[in-house]
Structure 1
């Protein structure tokens, strides 16, 4: 069984009387596809983004048993006025519930909230829960603020209280110092690392021990930074026993690695050597299958790289589907 824990959708349409700042879908001549127009974004969307029947056909063709579907990241546009952001989120969430209702055993839906207004975002979580969605997708930064900033702590506490899940998708920051050509490559790695690190350093991971949170693309460069962070915390190499006399920033709490092992990470890192490192450092019980489909093409067959690694049966079962169900809080499958 394979669950793709990183797949996206787009609503087919938006209200005719929506604010001017809303996205809209334009027809494409001689095609069933549509063009998403949202600010500077112009994105041609195939039917599989918004038609349930096409979605199921694509899963069957790729050997995918189920998907966790989340909004296409450009919809996480936090520079909208807060009221408009809330209206957009509600429209997207209604569409998510409708799309997943066509095959609830094969599509698990994540909604979105207006993180530019933390209070409104927190209040909207109850409606997401009531709609039967499994959680929310948020961007890796909110208008340049780290998600581990204390102003977002009540949001994560409410997510935890309601038993929802969070998917953090790497997105550019207003403070990016790299050229636009790096937006889909290096920026993803940097932003994922910043987001996950901020959850540890900002205290959210400590305050929300039962929070189920996943990071796109294995949180970028986080795994390479964790051994150094662990040394600063405990003064030892190779995760050997603490040596406080060598620690740069001694701390009696859990180590950075212990916190990081509470998170989930999709394994779309394009290289089996990287996946092996992630398994060795973080554990096979932390990784998920992810594809970014249909924004990106899946491997053929899906999870081909993982299949090529001759993983022990239990590790394959964890990564291919059980971890996704645990992250979603649907079952603790054994």
Structure 2
């Protein structure tokens, strides 16, 4: 059995009287695809983005049993006026709930919120839960602001209280330190690391110990930063015992690795050596299958690289199936 926890959708259309800042979905002549127009973005969306039957066909073709569907990241526009952001989120969430209702055992939905207005975002989480959605997708930064900033803490505390999962999707920010062509590669890795680090350094991870939160693309460079953070905390190499004479930044709370091992990470890292590192450092109970489908093609079959690593059967089952339901707070189907 296999659950793909990082798969995206797009609504088929938007209300005719929607604000001018809303996206549009225009038909493509002679094709079932539609073109997403959102600001400067033009994206040709195949029908698998919005058609439940086509999604099930695609699952069957690639060996996927269940998808966790979240909005395409460009919809997570934190520069919209809060009222428009809330209206957009509600439209997308209604579409997501309806799409998943077509096949409730194979399509599990995540909503979205206007996190540029943390109070409104937190209040909307109850509606997301009541629609039958299992969590919420957020961007790794909110208009360039760290999600670990204290003003977002009430949102995370409410998600924790309601038992909703959170999926943090890496989103590029404006930067002149890399060429524009690097936005979808290197900047995504940087964003994941900054998002995960900010939740620990800003105190959110400590204040919301039961928050079930996952990061796209294994939180980018975050796992490689952890051994250094652990050394500065403990003063010892190789996760050895604490040496207070050598520790640079000790504290009484959980260690950097303890914090990191409460998060979840998808496996979209493209290399068996990277997967091995994640399993060894973070543990097999922290990893989720992710593909970014249909924005990216899946491996055929899905998780082929992971399956070729000769992992113990129970480890493979955790990563491909059980962990997804634990993260979502659901009992795995028998």
Calculate the TM-score normalised by the size of structure 1.
0.99
CA contact (8 A) 1:322 1:333 kept: no
The equivalent residue for 1:217 is 217
Q: Which runs of 5+ in 2 are unaligned?
A: none
| 2:226 counterpart SS class | helix
Distance 1:175 1:297 in 2: 28
The equivalent residue for 1:186 is 186
Q: By how many angstroms is 1:251 displaced?
A: 1.0
Q: Which runs of 5+ in 1 are unaligned?
A: none
Distance 2:158 2:175 in 1: 29
The equivalent residue for 2:56 is 56
Distance 1:169 1:150 in 2: 20
Point out 4+ residue stretches in structure 1 off by more than 6 angstroms.
Answer: none
157 and 128 in structure 1: CA distance in 2 versus 1, 3 angstrom threshold: same
| 2:110 counterpart SS class | strand
The equivalent residue for 1:10 is 10
Question: How large is the Cα RMSD of the aligned pairs?
Answer: 1.0
Give matches, 1:62-77, under 5 Å.
62-77=62-77
Q: By how many angstroms is 1:173 displaced?
A: 1.7
CA contact (8 A) 1:143 1:174 kept: no
249 and 285 in structure 1: CA distance in 2 versus 1, 3 angstrom threshold: same
Distance 2:143 2:235 in 1: 35
| 1:90 counterpart SS class | helix
Residues 217-264 of structure 1: per-residue CA shift (max 9 Å, x gap): 000000110000001111110000000110111111110000000000
Q: By how many angstroms is 1:45 displaced?
A: 0.2
The number of residues matched between the two structures is: 334
CA contact (8 A) 1:326 1:333 kept: no
The equivalent residue for 2:203 is 203
Residues 107-127 of structure 1: per-residue CA shift (max 9 Å, x gap): 110000001101110110010
Alignment of 1:243 with 2:243, yes or no, is yes
Alignment of 1:26 with 2:26, yes or no, is yes
Q: By how many angstroms is 1:333 displaced?
A: 8.2
The equivalent residue for 2:322 is 322
Q: By how many angstroms is 1:177 displaced?
A: 2.6
